[in-house]
Amino acid sequence: MKKSDSNEMARDNRLIDRFLEMMSAERGAAQNTLAAYQRDLSAYAAFLNAAGSGLQVAKAEHIRNYLAALDAEGLKSSTAARKLSAVRQFHNFLYGEGIVRENPATAIDAPRMRRPLPKVLTIDDVSRLIAAAEARIERLEGKARFKAKRLYCLLELIYATGLRVSELISLKRQAIAKGPQFIVVKGKGGRERMVPVSQKAFAAVQAYLAALSEEQDDDTPWLFPSHGDGGYLTRQHFALELKALAREAGLSPEQVSPHVLRHAFASHLLAGGADLRAVQQMLGHADISTTQIYTHVQTDRLRMAIETHHPLAKSG
C-alpha cells in the first residue's frame, strides 16, 4: 500500500470517527445504529480509496459509481437506500462543519424502492377458510355461536367487497340500506363509494343481523358493535380471530390477515377477467398504479406455471 493511500485512509477514519461522535452526542444514536454507520461508511471509504479518491474529496460521480457497485452486488433496494442514507448524512456533516465547500450527495437520487408483491391466498385457501367458519357456526352454541356468525359475516364481506379492514369494521347499519346489490362505504379522505355485494355475502349479513338483534339492544349504529372505545370491533380482534380460523382450516396463521383477504379479492377478480378500472373503483384506489400491482401478481404466477409445467422450460 502506498504511503499516500495509507494517509488517505487514516484521514477518512478520523472523519468517520468525528461523524460518529456527533451522532452520539447531538442525536443520541444508539450503539447498534453507530455500528451500522461505521460499517457502511468504512465500506464506502474503502471503495473510494480503491478508486483513488477519499471521503473529503469525493464527487457526485464517485457516489453514483458506489451505488452502481452496490447494485451489481445484487443488494436489495432497501439495503442500498440505507447505505446511501449513511453516505448522505456523512457528507451533510462534512459540509455543515465547513470541512468541505460542496456537498456531492445533494445531486444523488435515492434508489427506486420496488413495491413488494402482496401475499395472495388461492381460491381454494379462501374456500377452506369459509368452510371452517361455517363449521364453527354448526358446532358452537350461545355467545360463541354468535361470534362465529359475526366472523363468518366479516369473512364473506371482506372477500366479496375487498374493503380495507378499517372500512369493514367501522361499517354502519345504514351502509346496507341500499339493498343486497350495494353497500355504501366511506373510504380514505372521506370519499364515499358504492361497492357491489354478492347475494351470498348479503345473506351472511342478514343472518348475522338477526343474531345480533337477539344478542343486544338495537340502539347502536354500528354493524359490528363492540364495548371498546371506538364502539365497534377492533381490527386487532378481527385479525386474531382470522388467524385462529386459519389454524382450523389447516392454513398457516402468518399467511392469513384481513389485508391478505383484500388482496385475494382483487387478485381473483383480475384472474377471472375483471376490468382493471372496475377493480380500482371497488378497492377505492385513487391511483390506478396502486391497483396494477395485482396484474404483476398474475404475471408472476403465469411465469411460474410455465417454468414448472412447460416441457421446453425444463432443462435436461
Q: Which domains does the chain have, with CATH numbers?
A: 3-107 (1.10.150.130), 123-309 (1.10.443.10)
Mean pLDDT of the chain: 84
Q: Which residues contact 94 (CB under 8 A, 6 or more apart)?
A: 15, 19, 55, 56, 100, 103
The predicted-structure confidence for 89-101, as pLDDT tens digits, reads as follows 999 999 999 999 9
pLDDT for the residue numbered 294: 64
Q: Is 232 helix (H, G, I), strand (E, B) or coil?
A: strand
Which residues touch 306 (CB under 8 Å, ≥6 apart)?
A: 313
Q: At residue 292, does pLDDT exceed 70?
A: no
Helix (H, G, I), strand (E, B) or coil at 183: strand
Task: Tell me how many degrees the CA angle 116-132-174 measures, rounded to the nearest 5.
Answer: 75
At residue 1, the pLDDT reads: 45
The CA distance from 187 to 285, in Å, is: 10
pLDDT digits (tens, 9 = 90+) for 257-282: 998 998 889 888 888 888 888 878 78
For residue 276, the model assigns a pLDDT of 80
Q: Cα 309–246–142 angle (5° rounding)?
A: 150
Say if residues 257 and 242 touch (Cβ distance below 8 Å): yes
Angle at 267 between CA 301 and CA 166, to 5 degrees: 140
> By the 8 A CB rule, do 244 and 136 touch?
no
Q: Name the band, by pLDDT with cuts 50, 70 and 90, for residue 248.
A: very high
Instruction: Give counts: helices (H), strands (E), the chain.
Output: 13, 2
Catalytic residues: 164, 188, 259, 262, 285, 294
- Mean pLDDT comparison of 59-68, 109-118, 278-287, highest-scoring range: 59-68
List all residues 6 or more positions away from 183 whose beta carbon is below 8 Å from its beta carbon.
Answer: 161, 171, 175, 176, 194, 195, 197
Q: What is the CA radius of gyration of the chain?
A: 28
Q: What mean pLDDT is predicted for residues 29-57? A: 92
pTM here is 0.59
**What angle do helix axes 258-271 and 142-161 make, rounded to 10 degrees?**
40
